[in-house]
Chain A
Amino acid sequence: MSRIITYREALREGLDEELARDPNVVLMGEEVAQYNGAYKVTEGLWKKWGDKRVVDTPISEAGFIGMGIGASMLGVRPVMELMFWSFHSVAFDQLVNNAACVRYMSGGLCNAPIVVRGPANGGTGVGATHSHIPEGLFAAFPGLKVVSPATPADVKGLIKSSIRDNDPVYFMENTLLYGMTGEVPDPADGDFVIPLGVADLKREGSDISLIAHGRSVIHCLAAAETLQKEHGISCDVLDLRSIRPLDQDAILKSVMKTNRVVLVDESKPFGGVSAMVCTLIQDHAFDYLDAPIKRVCTIDAPAIYSPHVENEQLPNPKRIIEKVLSIAKSK
């Protein structure tokens, strides 16, 4: 039996189940315990699990993330919340030099089984410093894994596998998805875990592939609906879910079927996830392409504050439809 619950509730349920499964799992972060979480993701968990398992930290991202990495080398399994992934910049040395490199530099003697999670998105009127979308940035560092779930079921299944993974996993959520509802399997029906590295075909179509992750998947689904109704264009919508490891087979399968592709990516155009996916497609499916690979990214500037145009800077159904129509087969 599935239930309809929010993305936030599904994520919390995943955290709660992992706290119950493994006594070494500990949640840490700013306001995660007594305040119940800045975005209420961890609401009730401190009351249920107590001071040892759910820990409020000072506003010291380098300090507490580095602490989590050190503790993980000894066998603790810290799940650390960044109130915004945008705050990665003040902990960058820990996130990259220590978490990503310690295994390599020790010749495999150490590993850092941490999860760092929190929202990574634009679109909330908080300006450039709070609207960074760094999944492509961190996926560029070997040693790290990056996950970006779009739905309540995915966020639950993926947080659980991320916590069980023995490598550092950077888990990127979205404040605009926390209230979104969807079907999630009932815990009574068994342990619901989604492995990293498996993309999900969220809508099946035949004319063009829309490949995205995070909230862009939701935009793609809306765009696909309009494209079908108003233009008779049938879209495959592939949700990457996991950025690294990446489901290359699913990407190629979709492209080889539709022969056209638009990549939708909330990060900026230079580098990033869609740039990597673009390279993989041209490398492995060049002969299957009937049109150039196109991308819809966030417009290439720091995130604007103004609510009048903020959504136009980000990928949205309108921009996706325009891009699809620019390369669609004429009917």
Chain B
Amino acid sequence: MSSATSSPLDFANSPINQSLTPERKIELFTQMVRIRRFEQAALKYYQAGRMTGFLHLYIGQESVAVGTISLGGEHDHFITAYRDHGHALAVGMGMNECMAEMYGKQTGCSKGKGGSMHFFAPDKNFWGGHGIVGGQTPLGLGLAYGVKYLNREGCCLCYLGDGAVNQGAFHESLNIAALFDIPIIYVIENNGYSMGTSQKRSSAYRGCLAQRAEAYDMEWDVIDGSDIYEVRAKTHIAMERARKEHKPCILEIDTYRYYGHSVADANHKKYRTPEEIESYKQNHDPINVFRRKLVNEGVLTEQQADAISKAAAEEAAASVKFAEESPAPTIADISTDVYWETDNNTEASKIGRHFFND
């Protein structure tokens, strides 16, 4: 049984990180910066009233999506909850389709039918974007079941928040995962708060949340999310075990969100102190930490880093323009994408009444 690593290992030296070329390192840094700039733009226009619904920001957690998804191969799949913008961009979705989705436009990744919480890109092995806390955890189990059933060497990374660990569906999934040897890795992105309730006030546990895996005879580990090298090194071990031995695992990645549960979370400055937020920004921000490492390694200069940040901000601004100028769905669009058979105009779809409007 593995456990939390307490020794100050330098994960930059792990084989999976040693294999990174300087170009690839800069790419990972760029992805993290792009996520942040994208969300900052989203926040600005959300607050300006240009989009509706919820906006669950990932700012502060970027190393988790970028680090874990960077390890994905052809048969590795990803699924997450409603805080999904980071994962979407990390799998390679474009800012335009994501921003347009939040604007509810026809050009959005889900044609404006899903919104911020429901980004999907099956062609990139990304299966959403799910709104109900913990509801995606059996789906992730199923994706991994499918990988194994179809005799592919791969796994599924299913992300959930620390608030989702108390949902029944998650525990049912853990039991089945271990019982059936399903190649799934549950990644608890632990930002310390299940909405406004701290971990101490919402969960009963010994040691840490991931340690609950022991009850299911399952491997687990804890990761410092501020270091993308550590995220990659430990996740790689879990993914290889899942791919080769079909063994499930829980990874708990300690991270932090700067903003509230959603932008509508009016109390987020009340349940956390300004000092707590400031300390995190100074010492644990995954982008700042990685930037310092890359500069020290001689991979990146400060000027290059600034240029990357500027380019990301420009890309985000362009995505806002794209979203603003895109057409809205039509009333006719409301009735498509309900049934596969009717969308594909099959013989089956022509038999019997499928919709009951008049």
Contacts and interface: CB of A to CB of B under 8 A. Distances in A.
B110 A106 contact: yes
Given A66-B137, A69-B139, A104-B337, A110 B132 contact: no
Interface residues of B, number: 58
B53 interface: no
B122 interface: yes
B172 interface: yes
B176 interface: yes
B352 A70 contact: no
B256 interface: no
Contacts of B351: 195-198, 245, 247
Nearest to A166: B340
Interface of A: 24, 26, 52, 57-58, 60, 62-76, 93-94, 97-98, 102-111, 113, 142-143, 145, 161, 165-167, 195-198, 242, 244-248, 276, 280, 283
B158 to A, nearest CB: 9
Contacts of B77: 74
Given A74-B150, A102-B128, A248-B353, A166 B341 contact: yes
6 contacts: A62-B168, A66-B135, A106-B129, A107-B110, A195-B351, A196-B352
B146 A75 contact: yes
Contacts, number: 192
B48 interface: no
Interface stretch (B112-120, B280-288, B294-302): B112-120
Nearest first, the 8 closest Cβ-Cβ pairs linking A and B are A197-B352, A70-B142, A66-B138, A63-B172, A245-B352, A74-B146, A107-B111, A107-B110
A50 to B, nearest CB: 13
Contacts of B175: 58, 60, 63
B120 A107 contact: yes
A64 B141 CA distance: 9
Interface in B147-177: 147, 149-150, 168-169, 172-173, 175-176
Given A52-B149, A70-B139, A63 B129 contact: no
A52 B146 CA distance: 12
B153 to A, nearest CB: 14
A104 B352 contact: no
Contacts of B129: 105-106
Contacts of A107: 108-114, 120, 337
A233 to B, nearest CB: 29
B169 A62 contact: yes
Contact of A69 (B110, B138, B176): B138
Contacts of A64: 138, 172, 176
B113 A105 contact: yes
A17 to B, nearest CB: 18
Nearest to B329: A107
Given A67-B173, A105-B129, A247 B118 contact: no
A105 B110 contact: yes
With a 10 A CB-CB cut-off, give which of A57, A110, A245 has the most chain B CB atoms: A245
Given A65-B138, A166-B346, 20 more contacts: A26-B149, A62-B138, A64-B138, A66-B135, A72-B142, A73-B122, A73-B146, A102-B128, A104-B114, A104-B337, A104-B338, A105-B118, A106-B122, A107-B109, A110-B122, A142-B355, A242-B352, A244-B354, A245-B354, A247-B351
B149 A76 contact: yes
A59 B348 CA distance: 34
Given A105-B128, A167-B339, A74 B147 contact: yes
Interface string B322-358: 0000000000000011111101101110011111101
A75 B340 CA distance: 14
Given A58-B175, A195-B351, A66 B150 contact: no
A58 B179 contact: yes
Contacts of A63: 138, 141, 169, 172-173, 175-176
A145 B128 CA distance: 23
Contacts of A66: 135, 137-139, 141-142, 169, 173
B72 interface: no
B172 A76 contact: no
Contact of B337 (A58, A103, A247): A103
B122 A97 contact: no
A110 B352 contact: no
Contact of B138 (A72, A94, A105, A197): A94
B127 interface: yes
Contacts of A245: 351-354
Contacts of B356: 246, 276, 280
